[in-house]
Chains A and B, each alone.
Chain A
Amino acid sequence: MTTTAQDNSPKKRQRIINCVTQLPYKIQLGESNDDWKISATTGNSALFSSLEYLQFDSTEYEQHVVGWTGEITRTERNLFTREAKEKPQDLDDDPLYLTKEQINGLTTTLQDHMKSDKEAKTDTTQTAPVTNNVHPVWLLRKNQSRWRNYAEKVIWPTFHYILNPSNEGEQEKNWWYDYVKFNEAYAQKIGEVYRKGDIIWIHDYYLLLLPQLLRMKFNDESIIIGYFHHAPWPSNEYFRCLPRRKQILDGLVGANRICFQNESFSRHFVSSCKRLLDATAKKSKNSSNSDQYQVSVYGGDVLVDSLPIGVNTTQILKDAFTKDIDSKVLSIKQAYQNKKIIIGRDRLDSVRGVVQKLRAFETFLAMYPEWRDQVVLIQVSSPTANRNSPQTIRLEQQVNELVNSINSEYGNLNFSPVQHYYMRIPKDVYLSLLRVADLCLITSVRDGMNTTALEYVTVKSHMSNFLCYGNPLILSEFSGSSNVLKDAIVVNPWDSVAVAKSINMALKLDKEEKSNLESKLWKEVPTIQDWTNKFLSSLKEQASSNDDMERKMTPALNRPVLLENYKQAKRRLFLFDYDGTLTPIVKDPAAAIPSARLYTILQKLCADPHNQIWIISGRDQKFLNKWLGGKLPQLGLSAEHGCFMKDVSCQDWVNLTEKVDMSWQVRVNEVMEEFTTRTPGSFIERKKVALTWHYRRTVPELGEFHAKELKEKLLSFTDDFDLEVMDGKANIEVRPRFVNKGEIVKRLVWHQHGKPQDMLKGISEKLPKDEMPDFVLCLGDDFTDEDMFRQLNTIETCWKEKYPDQKNQWGNYGFYPVTVGSASKKTVAKAHLTDPQQVLETLGLLVGDVSLFQSAGTVDLDSRGHVKNSESSLKSKLASKAYVMKRSASYTGAKV
């Protein structure tokens, strides 16, 4: 479903692909799946007003919205079945079998809806309308809330500082797979919409994996991805509690720019990147004088900064001051004559601090008896999406109890000091409440940005009758808005005595003080127009400056593609480094022995006759023989960066260095000895051809210093011997120049696949292509492994010239040079994996041990979230057909 946008408007506008969690519409299906109802949803007002602004008012941008349809509900059939229909499980049980035509029809209706919105709202003097710019992501399936589970039950609590110790592992795993699929479905949809030069803007924590996914998908394009995080980002101490912490971070850093609501969130994020991904970051100030970080990951730079979201102030003011609202304000005012009105509006979840608010109010009434009977707290709590979770139910109980106890303690027959409304309220009521309030009380315990606060300040900025101008705002310091509204009365919601005192103080402010406060506050309210434009213009800026930057980010390894290629390939070659790739780096090299899981996987890989597996390591023969060769003779081994080789399924080692003059060793040894005595803790490792000076056990500074010196000294004479001096991880190695992992790779690739190697023979580049490997997975983490990658890249270029028409369906030759490990590394590899753990997962995927959705990759999904053409996809197709037939039968039957 590609768009057919007409660019016949006079000015070509920048296209924006706006990815939101959910389209701002609620879809209701009638009984027959052919009649549906679409209405606007509430919630996330800031984001939706930004969408609206881009849609109708912006002349600069052409917006395309990509979003999930949200849970599709059914309108009740008729009054008689209504009872049955309202059972909550009904929503989960509905399999939602929609035919292709129905889906297309719905899509068109959605797009028309956006247009008709526009016609209603704007005058026709605007630029030409953009049609077909709503792109729903279809994920129809039973139990539609599944797509939310991971985001709402795992990520959301952690990001709001709630640790949830009791979710069971198996469940979490399934939630995660759904989360990955959710992101993949977006990537797929964006793939249909995207055109070169588009800016992709991703919103919020449901789509944390999407940036990297897009980077994988559009590997060669200079794609611009911005991400805005609406929720808080927690301190690393909390973030690291997530089991998938690395994958999430890795997913997010695929973006070019990651933006948060305030500086402390961005700081937390950067510190997580530093600790978990081992990234580096440079801090500076941006043009609006807030902190900005340049985080270097996988060879590219990610800009991390903050830009508080705003509200549509003009629209609010327009809506809030109408005749209709005036009359409503008056009636509220009359109902609570001579009483101060305190307003609270929150979503009722555990971080909005409704409980804290009530307790503070209780304390206030207790501490200041003179205010009893003089004050009313009107608290409007809107229900959350998952209203039936035990946490919400518990919270409801708490709130109810508190309300009751306050009302019974301080109320009387005809007056209750707390008026609690647990419902969604219509906008006009909300606005009139904002207008009538003498005080607004926001005590949230954590939130990203509290738009109620912004809207309240906006409404109060306007002169009107009833003495409502400039009434004060009490704001929790834990809310993201407190960083914006610096002049509000800021409180610590956990300290109810302090909040009570602040309420008293706020109610006692005189007119002048109030207007003073308001005038300061009003200036601080960001508008949504500003926010949208600033975000987009700085992204655009980045886009243009990116062009002259040569540094390209290495995307994560696209594992589904790898798997597909693996399945189709017949001559597969695996080239693995050992330390840091197959096992984690440890301080004592002797301790890095293979894990049982690694054995199992290698065994399975070896079992396939199409596979040739080589371990190419810097280690010596003894170690490799003992831990790998001895147990899995099918492995090919190469020791000491290629000086010694043992062919696949062969026992004997071949020494490639026999013919070389080794007199240099004495000389180098002398120099190294000298440095060893000078550097306590360092030592020399004597391999058969190479000499390595290790300094990982020394005082780091001293070690590094001497290493530098040693290198200089060695370089002064090694050229004469044709030696190479290499910097490794806390070591310096000297070896003959021809000994190099790259040389091995060359030998292995330019070789008849599956035939024994003649190690001493030279390389022939005349082999026919169909005797050489058609799948090469090369994994390494070290500096020395870069030689392998480089060699593979060279071969690829060479093949491009030689066999331009023998590429596979992905447009390459099946070469996968992949670097493993820290994000700060520079590499020539084409893709990355974060750690040896992920390496095992990837290999596990190839042998069928691991789910495809363990980590994100580009997978084609059908409209139900199954892999396209997979068994389950076909099954559901059949079921869908059967369902349609049955339904039409019963429908016609009913008609008859």
Chain B
Amino acid sequence: MTIIVASLFLPYTPQFEADVTNSDTAKLVESSMIKVDCNNQELSNNKQERSSSVTSASSHYIGLPQEAQINGEPLQRANVGSPATGVNYHNEMEMLSSEQFLEELTANATHAANSGIPPANNPVSSGSTAQRPSVEEFFSAPSARVCSPSQEASASSISASRSSAHHNDLSSSLMKNPNLSFDSHPPRVRSSSKSAVITPVSKSVPDVDPAVVDVAKVREEFQQQASLPSMKRVSGSTAGDSSIASSSSNLRYSQQFQDNFIEDTDSEDDIDSDLETDATKKYNVPKFGGYSNNAKLRASLMRNSYELFKHLPWTIVDSDKGNGSLKNAVNIAVAEKTVKEPVSWVGTMGIPTDELPHEVCHKISKKLEQDFSSFPVVTDDITFKGAYKNYAKQILWPTLHYQIPDNPNSKAFEDHSWDYYQKVNQKFSDRIVSVYKPGDTIWIHDYHLMLVPQMVREKLPKAKIGFFLHVSFPSSEVFRCLANRERILEGIIGANFVGFQTKEYKRHFLQTCNRLLAADVSNDEVKYHCNIVSVMYAPIGIDYYHLTSQLRNGSVLEWRQLIKERWRNKKLIVCRDQFDRIRGLQKKMLAYERFLIENPEYIEKVVLIQICIGKSSDPEYERQIMVVVDRINSLSSNISISQPVVFLHQDLDFAQYLALNCEADVFLVDALREGMNLTCHEFIVSSFEKNAPLLLSEFTGSSSVLKEGAILINPWDINHVAQSIKRSLEMSPEEKRRRWKKLFKSVIEHDSDNWITKCFEYINNAWESNQETSTVFNLAPEKFCADYKASKKHLFIFKISEPPTSRMLSLLSELSSNNIVYVLSSFTKNTFESLYNGVLNIGLIAENGAYVRVNGSWYNIVEELDWMKEVAKIFDEKVERLPGSYYKIADSMIRFHTENADDQDRVPTVIGEAITHINTLFDDRDIHAYVHKDIVFVQQTGLALAAAEFLMKFYNSGVSPTDNSRISLSRTSSSMSVGNNKKHFQNQVDFVCVSGSTSPIIEPLFKLVKQEVEKNNLKFGYTILYGSSRSTYAKEHINGVNELFTILHDLTAA
């Protein structure tokens, strides 16, 4: 009874560590350094750097090593570097990062001020450049102040590092395009570090024309070059440096769409992951960075890399990729025994694998399986990238977020990337199937794996499968832009249960299934191809307790103190977003600008800190934003006193981030679309002291959860956002408190435990109810079709209560061109004719069988009508007693409607009374009242049956069809109940299909057909019931009328 969780990335990843003092590896590392930097630094600079690069392992925040520390079970990394200097080093690290934090701010400030002037390498041309030293001084001042006595010991190293940082900063801003300057982090000097973590780098997917490409060939070419050593240091790590980082590893990535962090592993992405770059840019196939011109080095590296990974030690660590919220939720649930069953994971390892020798890969897999119950899916890198980057990220993701890509960069709707996507999904499915044991639950996550449910279902028809989509699901008008839309939908509804973040997404999904697949849908079910899939929503959440414990962490408190001092007397607006167009960064800045312009008194009082995570791959967008940021900052009369916007183009350390959250006066989320937004959940928990208000875009999934306490904004309405910023800054403490309490309540209500339990409950319920219904015979379309072909004269009777859709009409006319087709309904003759007047040969049975139209003329089946007056009298009385109800008299029946009755509570009683009243009075006259869908029908009984018998008689005796060749198999002494025209028996109807949702009208027909088949009067009899029913004479069952027509479509097409 395992729970198999399938997500694109496993929560664990192997990590290779190279000894950087070893010369070979050093070279490799060095080469990758060059590669990283050569994008934006000049060669001379490189040389300068190179001498120190061995020791100055780079320190990307993003890449900080994740020490596994789930619920107090620290997973020690095997290769621990110099622990001797532990304590001292620790302090130093903290200091350094604080230094760095402020350094970042200043660096950005100056760049921002600069960015408006295109040739940034002219130091004298702009005032702000000239001013820089003083600015620097100013910003470094507070940090020097913080440099309290206890840390004096390390002061020298700080100043050393500061000076180097300054140097770097200056050079970078002088040499580089200011927009790219965020990449430059001042290197940390760390002489003690000896080992570095390295990861193989994959080749990028060739960007070739989709229509003409010979994929196999390109691939071959690639593999020929595959021995190229390509790797990049993810981060320099030592044992001591990460007490802050490690404590936060669990929640750091609880934000929703973290998984695009795979970009970290391959440097080519800087260019090709871009969605919106200039259309004219054309990228050539392989790009191997700057060292491609160093042939000698390359040759030597080529030899080495394969060897390298063969011998390098590796360990399994927590992965920082993938869906953090899912991982957290599951891990916490397992640790706290909310989920009692063992959990195993299926996913990719999170590192490119082409570079790894086979046996190493195998060993890693084994290790993961045995020690971490994680079952890795290994694909070659091109396939993975094709599926993940090209399809999932560039086509699916934007479309799911209402961005219809319109630009050739994302051509590829029909691209081979779809093939890759299928392949990866198939791999996942195979892996799941291989792991699966009967009784297990399979839980598949997110848009990367939308085809997996159906693929698994094909192999394991009885499996319990759940699917959860973490991102938003768009309205059907958008979803239908996908070339493979049907396949994707069918893929998803292979699951028993499909989950979404909000009600809205769920509704969109149901509508989309209805429109694109012509599936029958109800409020929370999709019925398609004999399956019933339950569709629910369950917003994901965070774990409050876990986060609170982190908030009490010492470093968070220290940071808070720092922040308080740094921005004394200022109001802080904090934002943290992924850097892409969908997060509405530009709109946010524009709104903030508007706010400051309209309320200039705030310019010196407010600071907006924007943290961007993920790297920028969209220079144009970045430029647009920086223009606005620049404009805003120039509003301030003196930027050294107040800088209204601090734009950080990188993530902060989690402790810093939490501290900032705690100190924030407003938290602003302005996303244009977002599935959920857990950063605001984190903020709410963090703001337990200040109770700061939350400004939340109404286009995020979170707004459905937090709508009570948050101030909802429409990011498109800049004016309104600006007003809301003002409002939230001026909010009274009471209101803040009140709102925060509500927010907090909903965060707790929608926490991760709740999410997990709810999802499993839904999955189980869906599966169980499916078990029940699968005992009813489902119609087997193949047999239906075969029988149809094996017979000659077909009679179809459909009971269709609703007005027909155009699809129905066209199918019916198709069907009726070769067959005898009747539609049965309670409509009157006139309505009925007007509804079906487009269908030429169709027969009609009006008023539940009272009248039959054969070849265009009506026949009366009904005989007695004199009861109607009496019944009408009875209803007059009822109408009087139940205001708002009314009745209608048709030719042969009376209908009593109560849907408009004023007092709905009395409706059942009145209906009950009416029925008993009429039935006792008229029973002996075969007049019967019954209720169907809240309407009381009164009519002579057995009309439908009589009509059917009449039809059978008519067609078995009547005019012979145009071509009759072979004698049908069914032959009995007497034909249908009444008829006795023996001579025409060879023209008998030999195939009857009656269908409808259950009602007293249709049941006798089912029974009739059944009897006729039993009596051998009929070769094939199909009685198809749709909708649900407990007791019926029908033999076959089908989920809904749309599905029926889909089968009929196949029938006529065949």
- A-side residues, CB < 8 A to B, are 161-163, 165-166, 168-170, 172-173, 234-238, 240-243, 264, 268, 285, 289, 350, 355, 359, 362-363, 366-367, 394, 397-398, 401-402, 405, 409, 445, 477-478, 486, 492, 494-498, 587-588, 590-591, 593, 595-597, 705, 837
Could you say which of B210, B280, B406, B485 has the most chain A C-beta atoms within 10 Å of its C-beta? B406
B413–A169 CB distance below 8 A: no
Q: Mark B407-445, 1 if CB is under 8 A from A, else 0.
A: 110010110000000000000000000000000000000
B402 is contacted by which of A238, A242, A243, A350 (Cβ under 8 Å)?
Answer: A238
- A409: B residues at CB distance < 8 A: 212
Binds A, one of B113-121, B363-371, B650-658, B719-727: B719-727
Q: Is B359's beta carbon under 8 Å from chain A?
A: no
Q: A162-B406, A235-B476, A359-B211 are in contact. List 10 more A-B contacts (CB 8 A).
A: A166-B586, A169-B722, A237-B508, A241-B672, A241-B716, A243-B716, A445-B481, A492-B480, A494-B413, A495-B483
B735, A593: Cβ atoms under 8 Å? yes
What residue of chain A has the Cβ atom nearest to residue B724's Cβ?
A: A595
A497 near B738 with CB under 8 A, answer: no
Residues of B within 8 A of A498 (CB): 414, 483
Which A residues lie within 8 Å of B727 (CB)? 595-597
Q: Give chain A residues whose Cβ lies under 8 Å from the Cβ of B466.
A: none
CA A417 – CA B413 in complex, angstroms? 23
A163 pairs with B672, CB closer than 8 A? yes
Question: A367 to chain B: which residues have CB within 8 Å?
Answer: 211
Chain A residues with Cβ below 8 Å from B803 are 285
Contact of B474 with A by CB under 8 A: yes
Given known contacts A494-B482, A705-B905, is B475 in contact with A235 (CB within 8 Å)? yes
Q: If A241-B716, A359-B411, A595-B727 touch, does A235 touch B212 (CB 8 Å cutoff)? A: no
Check B716 against A235 for contact (C-beta < 8 Å): no
Closest to B726 in A: A596
Residues of B within 8 A of A234 (CB): 477
Query: Is A591 touching B280 in the complex (CB atoms < 8 A)?
Result: no
Contact with A along B171-211 (1 / 0, CB 8 A): 00000000000000000000000000000000000000111
Question: What is the predominant secondary structure among interface residues of chain A facing chain B?
Answer: helix
Verify if B624 is at the interface (C-beta below 8 Å from A).
yes
Q: Are A494 and B719 in contact (CB under 8 A)?
A: no
Q: How far, in Å, is B906 (CB) from chain A's closest CB?
A: 12
Interface contact B624-A166, CB-CB below 8 Å = yes
Distance from A787 Cβ to chain B, minimum over Cβ atoms (Å) = 24
Q: Complex: how many Å from CA A165 to CA B583? A: 10
Give complex CA distance A168, B594 in Å. 10
Q: CA separation between A237 and B699, bound complex, in Å?
A: 9
In the complex, how many angstroms separate the beta carbon of B718 from the nearest chain A beta carbon? 3
A505 and B53 CA atoms in complex are apart in Å by 62
B211-A165 in contact (CB<8A):
no
Do B723 and A237 touch across chains, with their CB atoms under 8 A apart? no
**Could you say which residues of chain B place their CB within 8 Å of the CB of A588?**
738
For A163, give its contact among B402, B475, B730 (CB under 8 Å): B402
Any A CB within 8 A of the CB of B295: no
Instruction: Indicate if B590 sits at the interface (CB-CB under 8 A).
Output: yes
Q: Does B808 contact A (CB under 8 A)?
A: no
The docked-state distance in angstroms from the alpha carbon of A616 to that of B402 is 45
Task: Determine whether the beta carbon of A243 is less than 8 Å from that of B584.
Answer: no
Alpha-carbon distance between A241 and B485 when the two chains are bound, in angstroms? 25
What size tier do the contact residues of chain B reach?
A: 35 or more
Whether the pair A173, B719 counts as a contact (CB closer than 8 A) is yes
Out of A366, A401, A405, A495, name the residue touching B413 (CB < 8 Å).
A495
Near A by CB (< 8 A), chain B positions 812-861 give: 835
By Cβ-Cβ distance, the 9 closest A-B pairs, closest first, are: A169-B718, A495-B483, A243-B717, A366-B211, A235-B475, A497-B414, A363-B211, A235-B477, A237-B475
Cα A445 to Cα B404 in complex, Å, equals 10
Closest chain B CB from A791 CB (angstroms): 29
Q: What CA separation (Å) do A673 and B407 show in the bound complex?
A: 65
Chain B nearest CB from A616 CB (Å) reads: 24
Chain A residues in 8 Å Cβ range of B477 = 161, 234-235, 238, 264, 268
Taking the nearest CB of chain A, how far is it from the CB of B927, in angstroms? 31
Residue of A nearest to B732 (CB): A593
User: C-beta contact mask, B467-503 vs A, less than 8 Å → 1, else 0?
Assistant: 0000000111110111111000000000000000000
What would 16 A/B residue contacts be, using CB atoms closer than 8 Å?
A161-B477, A163-B402, A166-B624, A237-B478, A362-B209, A362-B211, A363-B210, A367-B211, A397-B280, A402-B408, A445-B406, A495-B483, A590-B738, A593-B735, A596-B726, A596-B727
Q: Are A591 and B739 in contact (CB under 8 A)?
A: yes
Measured CA separation A170–B508 after assembly (Å): 34
Residues of chain B within 8 A (CB-CB) of A162 are 404, 406
Given contacts A366-B212, A397-B279, A494-B483, contact A165 B581 (CB under 8 A): yes
Roughly how many angstroms separate A405 CA and B732 CA in the complex, as a whole number?
A: 63
CB-defined contacts of B484 to chain A, threshold 8 Å: 495
A477 to B515, CA, bound (A): 13
Which residue of chain B has the shortest Cβ distance to A168 in the bound complex? B590
Proximity string of chain B (703-736) to chain A, C-beta cutoff 8 Å, 1 when within and 0 when not: 0000010000010111110110011001010010
Q: Are B408 and A355 in contact (CB under 8 A)?
A: yes
Distance in angstroms between the alpha carbons of A165 and B475 in the assembled complex: 19
- Partner of B406 from the list A172, A241, A350 (CB cut-off 8 Å) is A350
Contact among A243, A394, A596 for B730, CB-based, below 8 A: A596
Write the chain B residue with the least CB distance to A487.
B810
B521 contacts chain A at the CB level, 8 A cutoff = no
| Closest-CB distance, A229 to chain B (whole angstroms) | 16
Complex formed: what's the CA distance from A163 to B476 in Å? 16
Which A residue sits closest to B480, measured CB to CB?
A: A492
CA distance A268 to B475 in the complex (A): 11
Question: What distance in Å separates the Cβ of A359 from its nearest Cβ neighbour in chain B?
Answer: 7
State which of A163, A398, A496, A587 has its C-beta within 8 Å of the C-beta of B279.
A398
A165 in contact with B414 (CB, 8 Å): no
The answer to whether residues A243 and B211 also contact, given A169-B590, A497-B414 and a CB cut-off of 8 A, is no
Given A234-B477, A492-B480, are A597 and B723 neighbors across the interface (CB < 8 Å)?
Answer: yes
Kindly identify which residue among A165, A241, A285, A366 contacts B586, using a CB–CB cutoff of 8 Å: A165
Of B408, B586, B591, chain A has the most CB atoms within 10 Å of the CB of: B408
State in angstroms the CA–CA spacing of A234 and B403 once bound together: 14
Q: How far is the CA of A268 from the CA of B477 in the complex (A)?
A: 10
- Report how far A494 CA is from B594 CA in the complex, Å: 39
B587 within 8 A of A: yes
Residues of B contacting A242 in the complex (Cβ-Cβ under 8 angstroms): 716
- A165 with B587: CB separation less than 8 A: yes
- Chain A residues, Cβ within 8 Å of B584: 165
Q: In whole angstroms, how far apart are the Cα atoms of A366 and B414 in the complex? A: 13
Chain B residues with Cβ under 8 A from A398's Cβ? 279, 407-408
Chain A residue at smallest Cβ distance from B280: A397
Per the bound structure, the CA–CA distance linking A593 and B408 in Å amounts to: 51
B487 to chain A: closest CB distance in Å? 11
Q: How far is the CA of A359 from the CA of B481 in the complex (A)?
A: 15
CA distance A394 to B620 in the complex (A): 14
A419 to B624, CA, bound (A): 37
* Complex: chain A residue closest to B723, CB-CB: A597
Assembled-state Cα–Cα distance A541/B481 (Å): 40
A173–B718 Cα distance when bound, in Å, is 10
Residues of B contacting A289 in the complex (Cβ-Cβ under 8 angstroms): 835
Which residues from B are CB-within-8-Å of A241? 672, 699, 714, 716
Provide the bound-state CA to CA distance between A211 and B587, in Å. Answer: 32
Which of A289, A363, A478 has the most chain B CB atoms closer than 10 A to its own CB?
Answer: A289
Shortest distance from the beta carbon of B724 to any chain A beta carbon, whole Å: 10
Instruction: Report whether A165 and B739 are in contact in the complex, using a CB–CB cutoff of 8 Å.
Output: no
B716:A492 contact, CB within 8 angstroms: no
B279 pairs with A161, CB closer than 8 A: no
Q: Tell me whether A243 and B714 are in contact in the complex, defined as CB-CB below 8 angstroms, given that A173-B719, A359-B411, A363-B211 are known contacts.
A: yes
Residues in chain A near residue B474, CB distance under 8 A: 237
Cβ of B905 and Cβ of A169 under 8 Å apart? no
Contacts of A165 in B (CB 8 A): 581, 584, 586-587, 672
Most chain B CB atoms below 10 A, which of A169, A170, A394, A478: A169
User: Closest CB of chain A to B218's CB: distance in Å?
Assistant: 15
